[in-house]
Amino acid sequence: MSFWEFYNLVYAESINKGWRIGQSLWNNLCLKKFSVFEKMKDSGLDPFYAQTVINTEFVKAVEFIKTHWDD
């Protein structure tokens, strides 16, 4: 799965399941890229309560994930 496929999944599930975008990001990252999830958890970034994609914590989390996706 590429980063962009992951991002599209996050967005689709936030709509289909009625989740916050940050909740979808966090839950899917744990399932799809656990190694990156562990790194992000240790970084102090917490996008879970982000309601929109323009939330600062969400944007920072997406950049972090994108940077570490292929680690």
pTM for the model stands at: 0.92
Four-CA torsion 45, 32, 55, 40, nearest 10 degrees: 10
Query: Could you report the per-residue pLDDT of 49-61, keeping only the tens digit for each?
Result: 999 999 999 999 9
Q: Alpha-carbon distance 71 to 60, whole Å?
A: 18
Is the per-residue pLDDT at 71 higher than 90? no
**What value does the mean pLDDT take over residues 18-45?**
95
**Kindly report the CA angle at 9 between 59 and 70, in degrees rounded to 5?**
65
DSSP string, the chain: --HHHHHHHHHHHHHHS---HHHHHHHHHHHH-HHHHHHHHHHT---TT--STT-HHHHHHHHHHHHHTT-
Band (pLDDT 50/70/90 cuts) for residue 65 is very high
How is the chain split into domains, by residue range? 3-68
